[in-house]
Amino acid sequence: MKKRRIEFIFVPVLILLCYFVFFTSIPPSWKKVCIICYGIIILTTLFSLILENRSAPNTLLWIYVLVFIPVLGYVFYLYSGQLFLKGYLFRSKRIGDRELLETLNRKREKVDLSDLDEHQRCFAHYLEKSTTTTIDTNTSTRVLKNGEETFSEIKKRLREAKEFIHIEYYTFRSDRLGKEIMNILIAKAKEGVEVRFIYDAVGSISISSLDVKEMERAGVKVCPFLPIKSGFFNQKFNFRNHRKIIIIDGEIGFVGGLNVGVEYLGKNKKIGFWRDTHVVLKGEAVQTLHLVFLLDWKYIYGEMLLEDERYVKRPKPAEKDGMVHVVATGPETRDMSDYYYTLITCAKKSIWIASPYFIPNQSIRTALRVAAQKGIEVRVMVPKKNDGFLTQYASQSYFLELLRSGIEIYSYEKGFLHQKIIIIDGEFASIGTANMDMRSFHLNFEVNLFLLGTNSVKDLVDHYEEDLRDSNRIRPVEFYKKGMIERSKESFARLFSGIL
């Protein structure tokens, strides 16, 4: 990491060297010295880049950037070309989390998977071997559709809290909805309920500092996740906490796609109707979801709560409803794309996907194409209009390749589709915070539920079918008729797929 700090020091040096060469009247001999120094820095960086043994196309791309785009190319390389360094940046968190989870998991009994179908059992075995969390039974899950249903349930449960509230969000706004929830947290803290609150420093950049101070005065422990000022020179500001978690008294848990803001209620006039999905949990899986929060809290706040029995006690068993596996991913763990890929390859009849940001990597695209060519029904649902130029057109750039393979793509037209779900054969599913894009796969801290044979999967199927009625199927002929301007936008946006 010392090497990385030196590379950041090179930035002002390169700027000064370019300034002396192009904007001053120093003697030509001194200008030659500046050019030589500039060349030495770039060549040193190129040599370091080659030693990292990346793929040949990736290495050549960054060589071109460093050589042909003075200074700016070097800055872009530091903040985008080195994101694979995540393993070094979060090494301590990865090792510490694994040790704690392995210790806790040794106390739990192994789950009998005999009730699952063969292809569900195949996926469950993969989860067991590849995650540090466990499959939970004696758990009930209930799907919450859209903001009104979700936030009315959240506010009701928050008001009922007796011991503690642990809450973690990517986006938490100081608008009408945000203030209403903050007021509940303040009231509960004054009643003696322990309240701990994590918000992402970038995703919740608009949260009012006055609101934060008011919560702190009431006794709420508030902590931002990776503040920008502390992560600027070590690249950590690229890695964001995209999780949405609420744990109440260790008995109730919430997770899903909804952040806190009036737009998630469909009250933002520019965005309009907001289609999203959340889940409320009871039973054993609440403890596993809670562990994700407790490990994040330990990492950013330094408070070790896993030794306190109140926070790691087994919740009251809920009526058994299939199996639930909570999987947390991030820069320090296996990518969520691995779980999505395995989920897709386990399909026998159908694969239904809904994602607001659909920018799949090569392995996901291959799995979807092969599935469609085997006769499996593959459906992908995306919003008609996205909330960003690059995400909109980068997503569309993959459509023709998928359409040619027989994959059905649907454009959701009722409003903005923000749910992140995958349903396999109408029997098991994934729902959570991870999008089907590179940020969720490689850069963000995410958490998903994998539902095996639960009744809530039937609700997801019913809701997906309802959403299809508000969608328009995209036909290949539409893409063949596209003009050069539209194709150029897609090709340009696709260049940034790796960081979207």
Note whether 78 and 7 are within 8 A (CB).
yes
In the chain, what are the domains?
A: 2-81 (no CATH), 138-321 (3.30.870.10), 336-499 (3.30.870.10)
CA distances from 30 to 11, 18, 41, 70 (A): 20, 12, 17, 19
Q: Which residues contact 395 (CB under 8 A, 6 or more apart)?
A: 357, 358, 359, 382, 386
The one-letter code for the residue type at 414 is K
Q: Can you read off the two tokens belonging to residue 177?
A: 């909805």
For residue 382, the cross-strand partners are 411
Catalytic residue list contains 242? yes
Catalytic residue among 249, 338, 387, 470: 249
Rg (Cα) of the chain, in Å, rounded? 24
Catalytic residue list contains 244? yes
Catalytic residue among 175, 276, 425, 467: 425
SS (H, E, C) the chain: CHHHHHHHHHHHHHHHHHHHHHHCCCCHHHHHHHHHHHHHHHHHHHHHHHHCCCCHHHHHHHHHHHHHCCCHHHHHHHHHHCHHHHHHHCHHHHHHHHHHHHHHHCCCCCCCCCCCCHHHHHHHHHHHHHCCCCEECCEEEEEEEHHHHHHHHHHHHHHCCCCEEEEEECCECCCHHHHHHHHHHHHHHHCCCEEEEEEECCCCCCCCHHHHHHHHHHCCEEEEECCHHHHCCCCHHHCCECCCEEEECCCEEEEECCCECHHHHCCCCCCCCEECEEEEEEEHHHHHHHHHHHHHHHHHHCCCCCCCHHHHCCCCCCCCCCEEEEEEECCCCCCHHHHHHHHHHCCCCEEEEECCCECCCHHHHHHHHHHHHCCCEEEEEEECCCCCHHHHHHHHCCHHHHHCCCCEEEEECCCEECCCEEEECCCEEEEECCCECHHHHHHCEEEEEEEECCHHHHHHHHHHHHHHCCEEEECHHHHHCCCHHHHHHHHHHHCCHHHC
Can you say whether the dihedral through the CA atoms of 149, 197, 286, 329 is positive or negative?
positive
Give pLDDT, residue 9.
80
Residue 398 has phi, psi (to 5 degrees) of: -95, -10
Catalytic residue among 278, 420, 442, 463: 420
The residue whose two tokens read 């030794």 is: 307
The residue whose two tokens read 């990492």 is: 299
The span from the CA of 327 to the CA of 317, in Å, is 20
The span from the CA of 314 to the CA of 251, in Å, is 9
The residue whose two tokens read 């562990």 is: 291
Catalytic residue among 93, 188, 244, 463: 244
Catalytic residue among 242, 290, 325, 463: 242
What are the pLDDT tens digits along the chain (500 aa)? 445 567 778 888 888 989 888 888 889 899 899 999 999 999 988 888 887 777 777 788 788 888 888 888 888 777 666 555 555 556 667 667 776 776 666 666 677 777 788 888 888 889 888 887 888 888 999 999 999 999 999 999 999 999 999 999 999 999 999 999 999 999 999 999 999 999 999 999 999 999 999 999 999 999 999 887 655 555 567 788 999 999 999 999 999 999 999 999 998 888 899 999 999 999 999 999 999 999 999 999 989 998 888 898 888 878 778 899 999 998 877 789 999 999 999 999 999 999 999 999 999 999 999 999 999 999 999 999 887 778 888 888 899 899 999 999 999 999 999 999 999 999 999 999 999 998 898 889 999 999 998 999 999 999 999 999 999 999 888 777 777 888 787 778 777 776 66
Task: Please give the model's pTM, rounded to 2 decimal places.
Answer: 0.87
Q: Which of 414, 412, 354, 356 is nearest to 386 (CA)?
A: 356
The residue whose two tokens read 């704690």 is: 100
Q: Which of 222, 175, 219, 226 is nearest to 203 (CA)?
A: 226
Q: Can you read off the two tokens belonging to residue 311?
A: 């926070």
Q: Which of 45, 65, 52 is nearest to 498 (CA)?
A: 65
What is the phi-psi region of residue 360: left when phi exceeds 0, alpha when psi lies from -120 to 50, beta otherwise? beta
Q: Which of 389, 307, 328, 379 is nearest to 350 (CA)?
A: 379
Note whether 368 and 351 are within 8 A (CB).
yes
The span from the CA of 493 to the CA of 498, in Å, is 10
Give pLDDT, residue 1.
47
